[in-house]
Amino acid sequence: MGAKILIVDDLSFMRMIQKEILSQRGYVVVGEASNGLEAVEKYRSLRPDLVLLDITMPQMNGLEAMRKIFSIDPQARVIMCSALGQQNLIVEAIRAGVKDFIVKPFKPERMLSAIERALK
Amino acid sequence: MVRRYVSFTLGSGRYCVPVDEVLQILRHENVMEIPKAPPFVEGVINLRGDVVPVVNLRERLSVPRDAEAKKPRIVVTQVEGRMYGLAVDEVRDVVEIDDAAVHDDQASPFGVRSEFIRGIAKRGDSLYMVLDLPGIFRSGG
Amino acid sequence: MAVAGMDEEKLRSAFLEEAEDLYGKLGESLLSLEQNGGGRELLNETFRLIHSLKSESALMGFAKLSELAHAMEDVFGLARDGRVPLDRQVMDIMFAGADLIGEMMGAVSRGESDEGVRTEEVVRRLARVPQQGAPEGAPGGSPERVPVRESPQTPADGGLPVLDEFEKRQLEEALDRGEGLYRLAIRVDEGEPMKFPRVFLVFNALEEEANVVKAVPPMDGEPLEDALYGETVLYLTTGGSEAAVTQAACVDQVTVLSIERLDYRAVLEGPPARGGGPDAALAGAPGEAGAGAQPSAEGQQKRAGAEKTSIRVDTRKLDDLWRLIAELVTRKSRVARLSEKMTRGGDVHEASEELAETFDALDKIAGGMQQTMVDTRMIPIAIIFSKFPRLVRDLSRKLGKSIELSIRGEETEIDRGIVEALSDPLTHIIRNSIDHGIESPEERLRRGKPARGRVSIEARQQGGNIVIEIADDGRGIDVARIREKAVAEGIEGAAAMGDAALLELVFRPGFSTREVVTDLSGRGVGMDVVATRVRGELKGDVVLATENGRGTRVTLLLPLTLTIINALLVRGDSQLCAIPLTDVDSTVKVLNTEIRADDGREAWVYRNEEIPLHRLGALFGRGRRRAEEHFAVILRHGDRKGCLIVDELIEEQEIVIKPVDDLLNHRRLFSGVSLLEDGRLVFILDASFIRREDF
């Protein structure tokens, strides 16, 4: 509890919902980003305990951002959020070190259990 | 024969090109400038590794600017085996025009040069200018 | 679902703002798709838009909107995978769906709900699309896969895997190393929509502790139907404990069904794989590639309706690539270890030397891989030439002529991308030779020629080009006649034109029409099309040579598609420019005092030499910099030298040359353009400009 989380998704609506769910559980959302570039910057400055990263975003997608984050911090904890049918991207992300993935539209319990496990 | 055309606007005028000459429609962004290019050449875009020149239709046709383009687009076309981009104000819709309705013997409005226009078609209340892409993308004038 | 405690109003307006934007973009994408038919990026983008709309409306509890979007998304998913074509009918339904979405959003923005809009009809139509689209009539299924319903835990051979040679070898080595052999069976929760990646999470975690020798269904190569991975069995060897293995399999949404230790002997002596090749016997998947077998590399993995463009590749090229990859893997782990060493505070100097060495090796490997890939695109021109013998025979029969065809250089390789574009022009030229070039046997005899005419076609590589020559010993072209015709047609300067210029006229559209050309005995018909194809599309050139009464030769010059050169990257003002190293004599520093201006032209005077001076910044249209001294490149073209002042000398680099359109090159300064990895545009300088008077 109290872990610091960075939320990345290009849809502000999504971020709002995710933030609500996480805060209610007692996690601290230390920052939000709407594209890959922002995500990397915020990771660098905030050093969260975990990143919730959406795969498809304009302007540097999730995979690239993930790679950059891992190059900043090889121990980073990243959970990818993906749509159905992006199997190849998810597999690549797992290869690079992503801890888990959530398929959208996701159930809040699913997101929380993945985060819990990743933070152990 | 009825053909389909992609129509777009420039200022208050409507222009169109045959559907099979259009490859793709992109947002107007990331145009790299070219040094010492003619004024109607905006620059180039990198389309998945291909260098595609972008011609500004307004400059090319000398159409005066009235308002800011709301949804500027680049229409990527194929002419004689090569790709070219055309920067326009807004892409509208696909229209069907009969060959018989296209007149090429009228003096074009706005004083547009005829080598850029293949003809003019009336469709309902609107006039569509059918562009001559090879003419537009030809260098040396 | 509504998030407890959130302000309803705030939620709604946030939703609307975003949803309207998505909806607008969706409309544009659909339009674009209608004209374009569906490029990869566009399809993905459109899918993303519909998907986002679906997710957001679902979260807001707008069931109808979300249902419609979901139905559209499904059809889109199929279209994206190539299982359903985006034809007129489908696009119409899509547009109808989009319109309804618009209506519903309108209602929501007015404070109403989405219930009022009738979406049932469109949703029904959308649901029917897969049946119409899928070629083998299995909605969303893949009839080429053997549908496996039986659980992989109860195979006919009693729980032991069927192994191929490669897998057996791995087991033997593991046995030597004293590792334990385990069989791990896992199940993915029903609710997880993407099972393969879930299993992959386990697989990935396992690979740190152990070596997974075999997976059923298979994990390497292309994954099979996702649902098949609901229950997966992994055979692995490890030096660690069983507990460690179970720990690795501890992934969300995955349950370990069983883990058991196996006996090596029982497994190694098990039934051999069918056909001696790789065989996922239990899942029946075609095309699983095991490294021990010889893959035919024909890309046979066709899923129902999915079109994968596949090509035939010489397996030797694949072996080369395999070897390079193996080296790459070795070097890569070297780098990983070096990096670790350095993190732990090892000797930086020693490490950096090793690093440099490894980099050199990697550089060579990358070069080798690049070359191999280029090679796989090249195929022998025989693919085009092979139809000519038949063509010649048929045509000469028909026309009552006797012709001998000789073909040389058919092993010359060309890029497969130009095969189609090249085939027609060549065919046309040969027809022309036979039709109008070669005379009838009687006429030939009268002229003192052998009755049998000769047509030859030869291909060879010359420099960075492919040269193709088609020659015949027929009647040739009467250049004087061309001149007559040209003058009669009122072509400017025709009377004074030399032979070469007159022959060039044959390539002109107006000139090669049938009427004009009957006087030339039909020769030249359609040559304008040939010229457009070769010069326009293929970016090459075509030249005619002829001797009246003796014969004609048509020569085609085609650039090899992937031209990579070594160039010197420089900067002129803010524009990057690449100078081919073959044109670079040296790089120097030029002092202002060494520059002499004379009648508007500048020159660099140094040690008794006076070299014409140019400024790259000025060539690019910008002003000159003030400075005492400048960096400059001495260009050499043939016997002439030029001194080019630049703003920065960057580095030597290999670049891929792409053609530059005339529109961008009206001063003809450039021979091409290139794009750097970061997307920046580079102009390739044509050094021959130093010979021109206008510079």
Q: Bridge partners of B90?
A: B9
pLDDT of C132: 60
Alpha-carbon distances, residue C438 vs B24, C138, C472, C545, C622 (angstroms): 47, 57, 7, 15, 59
Beta carbons of B38 and C666 less than 8 Å apart: yes
CA–CA separation, C280 vs C155, rounded Å?
12
**Are the C-beta atoms of B138 and B40 separated by less than 8 Å?**
no
Helices (H) and strands (E) in chain A, counts: 5, 5
pLDDT of C525: 57
Query: Running DSSP on this structure, what letter comes out for residue C680?
Result: -
pLDDT of B140: 63
Alpha-carbon distances, residue C688 vs A102, A119, C421, C658 (angstroms): 59, 64, 30, 18
State the smallest CA–CA distance between residue B47 and chain C in angstroms: 10
Of A14, A100, A105, the CB nearest to C201: A100
Report yes or no: B19 at the C interface, CB cutoff 8 Å.
yes
What fold, for C8-133?
Four Helix Bundle (Hemerythrin (Met), subunit A) (1.20.120)
Gyration radius of chain A's alpha carbons: 13
* Closest C-alpha to C507, from C429, C560, C439, C433: C429
Report yes or no: A56 at the C interface, CB cutoff 8 Å.
yes
Of C18, C58, C193, the CB nearest to A84: C193
Of B49, B71, B139, the CB nearest to C666: B139
Class of domain C563-691 as given by CATH: mainly beta
Element (H, E) at C674: strand C670-675
Beta carbons of C194 and A101 less than 8 Å apart: yes
Element (H, E) at C616: helix C616-619
Beta carbons of C59 and A105 less than 8 Å apart: yes
* Closest C-alpha to C304, from C149, C74, C147, C141: C141
Burial of A69 (0-12, 13-18, 19+ CB in 10 A): buried
pLDDT of C221: 66
Of A11, A103, A110, the CB nearest to C18: A11
**Are the C-beta atoms of C668 and C689 separated by less than 8 Å?**
yes
Task: Show the tokens assigned to C492.
Answer: 């400017």
The position carrying tokens 């009539």 is C137
- Report phi then psi at A96, rounded to 5: -75, -15
CA–CA separation, C443 vs C426, rounded Å?
26
Residues of chain C with pLDDT below 70 are: 1-8, 36-38, 131-159, 165, 221, 270-312, 315, 374-375, 377, 416-417, 463-464, 509-525, 537, 560-564, 623-624
Task: Give the neighbours of chain C: at least 3 Cβ pairs within 8 Å.
Answer: A, B
Alpha helices in C249-314 (DSSP H): 264-268
State the smallest CA–CA distance between residue C665 and chain B in angstroms: 8
Task: Show the tokens assigned to A80.
Answer: 């990818």
pLDDT of C147: 33
Q: What is the pLDDT of residues B86-139, one digit of tens each?
A: 999 888 888 888 888 888 755 555 556 678 888 888 887 888 999 999 889 987
What fold, for C382-559?
Heat Shock Protein 90 (3.30.565)
B touches C, CB cut-off 8 Å, minimum 3 pairs: yes
**Are the C-beta atoms of C584 and C636 separated by less than 8 Å?**
yes
**Coil, strand or helix at C645:** strand
Report yes or no: B38 at the C interface, CB cutoff 8 Å.
yes
Query: Running DSSP on this structure, what letter comes out for residue B64?
Result: P
Q: What is the pLDDT of residues A50-108, one digit of tens each?
A: 999 988 776 677 888 888 898 888 889 999 998 777 788 888 888 888 989 998 877 88
To test the contact with chain B by mutation, choose from C661, C669, C680 the residue with the greatest count of B C-beta atoms within 10 A, namely C661
CATH number attached to the domain at B2-137: 2.40.50.180
* Closest C-alpha to C407, from C471, C473, C458: C458
Of C621, C663, C679, the CB nearest to B53: C663
pLDDT of B81: 67
Which domain range does residue A62 map to? Answer: 4-119
pLDDT of A1: 58
Class of domain C167-270 as given by CATH: alpha beta
To test the contact with chain A by mutation, choose from C44, C52, C206 the residue with the greatest count of A C-beta atoms within 10 A, namely C52
Taking CA C512 as the corner, what is the angle to CA C506 and CA C517, rounded to the nearest 5 degrees?
100
CA–CA separation, C397 vs A85, rounded Å?
58
How many C-beta atoms lie closer than 10 Å to residue C398's C-beta? 10
Alpha-carbon distances, residue C239 vs C57, C182, C199, C236, C242 (angstroms): 51, 11, 22, 10, 9
What CATH number did the domain enclosing A18 receive?
Answer: 3.40.50.2300
Number of domains in chain A: 1
CA–CA separation, C141 vs B36, rounded Å?
57
**Are the C-beta atoms of C293 and C278 separated by less than 8 Å?**
yes
Burial of B40 (0-12, 13-18, 19+ CB in 10 A): middle
Please state the domain extents for chain C: 8-133, 167-270, 317-378, 382-559, 563-691
- Cα-Cα-Cα-Cα torsion B117, B122, B126, B127, nearest 10 degrees, comes to 20
Task: Show the tokens assigned to B51.
Answer: 């260098």
Q: What is the mean pLDDT of chain A?
A: 87
**Are the C-beta atoms of C114 and C61 separated by less than 8 Å?**
no
CA–CA separation, C386 vs C411, rounded Å?
11
Which residues are within 8 A (CB) of C432 and not within 5 positions of it... i.e. 6 or more apart?
A: C522, C523, C524, C525, C526, C527
Task: Give the neighbours of chain A: at least 3 Cβ pairs within 8 Å.
Answer: C
Beta carbons of C663 and B82 less than 8 Å apart: no
